[in-house]
């Protein structure tokens, strides 16, 4: 049948099983929005307050559900406002399709009103992108975009469509979505090499990254850990792939990792790295990272092998498939002395904070207690992000959503909206600092407009907390441009946008306020007043060896 390009866009989204789109309309994309109007009972559109919020919402939807997130934007500034959200998704390997519309084909390259080369701009931060100048190629391009976004190492794909292409007509025939196939067999030589490393190890450690989440490998990972009889650490992106409640879990690795994990990885003789890319925030001094260990890396992306850290053995393949194959051939291992030492270190080096007053760690632990560990936690970037990673025990994958690679302030609120839309049965809590909340706080209006009951917790210390922490520790307390003392009232702001706002200053007040927020089932902003000099402990200085992890006691004593 003959359809306009705009109608083809909507039909192709329906083919792909898309039920929600996040976006903001404008002149160049009007035809698509007009076509969407006729299908609003099949595809829900969430009108965000800003295009950046739409990109982050599509990202959060994808992380929470495992589906491909979709966002719309018009030409020019509408399209460029997506860029930070696309880059955020790209750095964390999140499958997303961004559809932008541009000026007509005849106007391209002529500095037309609201024209921008969005394909050129996003080339370094997308897995692939397209500009579709022929309506006859539109349907196949959209289908291809979804396959590319989801297959292999996932990532965002952008499709730019000139306005006249959305108006032109072409023959459209519905196609059934083809499920993506995974490689079923790994290289036997690689598997045998891995098996040899594992069987000869006396002090193994397992490091889990976001690839284990993306490949849905939690079940296989748990079996692998059982067979390995090894302690487990993770990255920000790997949270929940292995349950944080398991006795073999030792906390996060890296700059704000636990002493147990950092010391253990520094001492182990084999580090099995599953779906992680050796970020500098994880390794510290890369030349000294796991200096006593052989390294076995399992990753779907061959480009990650030997990129940041030299490894002993690599297995390139889908994490789930590789672990299935390893589990078939791996005999039960036993490392009683090593596991006992790790247990002793966990007791010797617990996470600590001041129990006398309202602090970030206390807030996280109270949220954990009241949600019984079943919430979907989203964060912005900074101290609160680290506390949420340290003190909430993530039992399942896709329950901790954060900007790990790009470190995007302003990510969390939009992402929490997408997460709640994608998984409405979950309690969704966005944790923010006051600096991050200011970035995209206009999305509270989106939550109210669409009746999306998220809980926004603001750890309000009236400073840019993580930057101030570095200024305190490494810049002799020169607090340049990090003090946010002004008259902004987040409670009044929340109320002005139609949400519930509650200010809390004590532990007791927070417990009551959060309990109320859970019952209300509507957008709530909790303005939590905490100390401006509270710090995230432990810490590794930038570029230092992980074995040099220190905390407040170490700093005071030496």
Which pLDDT score, from 0 to 100, does residue 257 have?
Answer: 98
Q: For 364-499, where are the E strands, in sequence order?
A: 376-379, 400-401, 428-433, 455-460
- Coil, helix or strand at residue 242: strand
* Separation of alpha carbons 474 and 271, rounded Å: 31
* Separation of alpha carbons 54 and 186, rounded Å: 38
Which pLDDT score, from 0 to 100, does residue 184 have?
Answer: 58
Per-residue pLDDT for 340 more than 60?
yes
Q: Which residue has better confidence, 79 or 178? A: 79
Question: 473-485 burial string, b = 16+ CB within 10 Å, else e?
Answer: eeeeeeeeebebe
DSSP string, 546-558: GGG-B-HHHHHH-
Q: Which two tokens stand for residue 215?
A: 């490949």
Q: Is the CB of residue 293 less than 8 Å from the CB of residue 145? A: no
Q: What is the CA radius of gyration of the chain?
A: 24
Backbone angles phi, psi at 342, to 5 degrees: -65, -40
Which pLDDT score, from 0 to 100, does residue 181 have?
Answer: 61
On the question of a common fold for 2-171 and 360-539, the answer reads yes
Which pLDDT score, from 0 to 100, does residue 183 have?
Answer: 56
Q: How confident is the model at residue 187 (pLDDT cuts 50, 70, 90)?
A: confident
Which pLDDT score, from 0 to 100, does residue 336 have?
Answer: 98
Q: Which residue has the tokens 């060896």?
A: 545
DSSP annotation of 398 reads: T
Q: How far is CA 344 from CA 247, 335, 348, 358, 471, in A?
A: 12, 14, 6, 30, 34
Which pLDDT score, from 0 to 100, does residue 556 have?
Answer: 84
- Coil, helix or strand at residue 351: coil
- What digits encode the pLDDT tens for the residues 512-552? 999 999 999 999 999 999 999 999 999 999 999 999 999 99
Residue 9 zone, left/alpha/beta (φ > 0; ψ -120 to 50; rest): alpha
Q: Taking the alpha carbons of 445, 446, 449, 453 in that order, is the dihedral positive or negative?
A: negative
Tell me if the pTM is above 0.95.
yes
CATH of domain 360-539: 3.40.50.970
Per-residue pLDDT for 416 more than 90?
yes
- Coil, helix or strand at residue 197: helix
Q: Which residue has the tokens 């402990």?
A: 537
By percentage, how much of the chain surpasses pLDDT 90? 96
Element (H, E) at 98: strand 96-102
Q: Which residue has better confidence, 176 or 31? A: 31
- Coil, helix or strand at residue 515: helix
The lowest-confidence range among 75-89, 170-184, 509-523 is 170-184
Instruction: Give the full edge-to-edge strand order of the sheet including 204-208.
Output: 249-252, 232-234, 204-208, 270-274, 294-299, 313-316
Q: Which residues contact 107 (CB under 8 A, 6 or more apart)?
A: 115, 162
Q: Which residue has the tokens 């810049």?
A: 475
* Separation of alpha carbons 153 and 453, rounded Å: 32
Q: What is the residue-averaged pLDDT of the chain? A: 96
Burial degree of 171 (CB within 10 A; 0-12, 13-18, 19+): exposed
The residues that bridge with 527 in the sheet, in sequence order, are: 458, 503
Q: Residue ranges per domain, the chain?
A: 2-171, 188-348, 360-539
Q: Which one, of 140, 146, 136, 135, lies nearest residue 70 by Cα? A: 146
Whether omega for the bond prior to residue 538 falls within 30 degrees of 0, making it cis, is yes
Q: How confident is the model at residue 177 (pLDDT cuts 50, 70, 90)?
A: confident
- What digits encode the pLDDT tens for the residues 252-294? 999 999 999 999 999 999 999 999 999 999 999 999 999 999 9
CATH topology assigned to domain 188-348: Rossmann fold (3.40.50)
Q: Across residues 302-316, what is the average pLDDT? A: 96
Which pLDDT score, from 0 to 100, does residue 194 have?
Answer: 95
Q: Which one, of 555, 449, 459, 429, lies nearest residue 497 by Cα? A: 449
* Separation of alpha carbons 231 and 237, rounded Å: 18
Q: Which one, of 450, 451, 460, 449, lies nearest residue 502 by Cα? A: 460
- The β-bridge relationship of strands 313-316 and 294-299 is parallel
Which pLDDT score, from 0 to 100, does residue 176 have?
Answer: 87
Which pLDDT score, from 0 to 100, does residue 180 have?
Answer: 64
Tell me: domain 2-171, CATH 3.40.50.1400, correct? no
Q: Is the CB of residue 385 less than 8 Å from the CB of residue 408? A: no
Catalytic residues: 51, 113-114, 163, 466
Q: Which residues contact 69 (CB under 8 A, 6 or more apart)?
A: 22, 57, 58, 59, 60, 61, 62, 89, 94, 95, 96, 97, 418
Per-residue pLDDT for 555 more than 90?
no
- Coil, helix or strand at residue 251: strand
- What digits encode the pLDDT tens for the residues 371-388? 999 999 999 999 999 999
* Half-sphere exposure in the Cβ direction for 430 (13 Å, CA): 38
Q: Which two tokens stand for residue 238?
A: 């790997």
CB atoms within 10 A of CB 179: 7
Q: How far is CA 274 from CA 189, 231, 296, 536, in A?
A: 18, 13, 8, 26
Per-residue pLDDT for 406 more than 60?
yes
């Amino acid at each position: 049948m003959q359809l306009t390009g705009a109608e083809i866009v909507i039909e192709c989204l329906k083919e792909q099983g898309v039920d929600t789109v996040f976006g903001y309309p404008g002149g160049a994309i009007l035809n698509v929005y007009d076509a969407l109007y006729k299908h609003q009972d099949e595809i829900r559109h969430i009108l965000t307050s800003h295009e950046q919020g739409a990109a982050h919402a599509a990202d959060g939807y994808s992380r929470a559900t495992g589906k491909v997130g979709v966002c719309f934007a018009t030409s020019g500034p509408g399209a460029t406002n997506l860029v930070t959200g696309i880059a955020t998704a790209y750095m964390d390997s999140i499958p997303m399709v961004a559809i932008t519309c541009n000026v007509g084909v005849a106007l391209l390259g002529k500095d037309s009103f609201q024209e921008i080369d969005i394909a050129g701009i996003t080339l370094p931060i997308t897995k692939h992108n397209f500009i579709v100048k022929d309506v006859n190629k539109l349907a196949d391009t959209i289908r291809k975009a979804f396959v590319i976004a989801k297959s292999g190492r996932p990532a965002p794909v952008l499709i730019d469509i000139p306005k006249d292409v959305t108006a032109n007509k072409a023959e459209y025939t519905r196609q059934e979505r083809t499920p993506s196939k995974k490689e079923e067999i790994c290289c036997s030589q690689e598997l045998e090499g891995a098996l040899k490393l594992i069987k000869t190890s006396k002090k193994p450690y397992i490091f889990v990254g976001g690839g284990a989440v993306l490949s849905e490998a939690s079940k296989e990972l748990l079996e692998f850990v059982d067979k390995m009889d090894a302690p487990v650490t993770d990255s920000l992106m790997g949270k929940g792939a292995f349950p944080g409640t398991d006795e073999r879990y030792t906390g996060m690795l890296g700059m704000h990792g636990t002493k147990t994990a950092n010391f253990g990885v520094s001492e182990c003789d084999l580090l099995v790295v599953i779906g992680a890319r050796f970020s500098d925030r994880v390794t510290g001094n890369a030349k000294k990272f796991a200096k006593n260990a052989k390294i076995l890396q399992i990753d779907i992306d061959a480009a990650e092998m030997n990129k940041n850290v030299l490894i002993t053995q690599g297995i390139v393949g889908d994490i789930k498939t590789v672990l299935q194959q390893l589990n078939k051939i791996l005999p039960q291992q036993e490392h009683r002395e090593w596991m006992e030492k790790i247990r002793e270190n966990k007791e010797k080096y617990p996470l600590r904070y001041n129990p006398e007053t309202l602090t970030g760690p206390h807030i996280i632990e109270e949220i954990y207690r009241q949600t019984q560990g079943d919430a979907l936690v989203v964060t912005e970037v900074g101290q609160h992000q680290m506390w949420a990673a340290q003190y909430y025990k993530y039992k399942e994958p896709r329950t901790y959503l954060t900007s790990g690679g790009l470190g995007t302030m302003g990510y969390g609120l939009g992402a929490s909206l997408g997460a709640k839309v994608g998984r409405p049965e979950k309690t969704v809590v966005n944790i923010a600092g006051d600096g991050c909340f200011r970035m995209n706080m206009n999305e509270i209006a989106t939550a109210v407009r669409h009746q999306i009951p998220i809980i926004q917790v603001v750890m309000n210390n009236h400073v840019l907390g993580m930057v101030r922490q570095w200024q305190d520790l490494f810049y002799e307390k020169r607090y340049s441009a990090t003090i946010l003392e002004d008259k902004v009232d987040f409670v009044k702001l929340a109320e002005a946008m139609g949400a519930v706002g509650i200010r809390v200053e004590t532990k007791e007040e927070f417990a009551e306020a959060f309990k109320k927020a859970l019952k209300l089932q509507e957008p709530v902003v909790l303005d939590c007043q905490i100390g401006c000099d509270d710090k995230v402990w432990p810490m590794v200085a930038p570029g230092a060896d992980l074995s040099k992890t220190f905390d407040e006691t170490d700093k005071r004593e030496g």
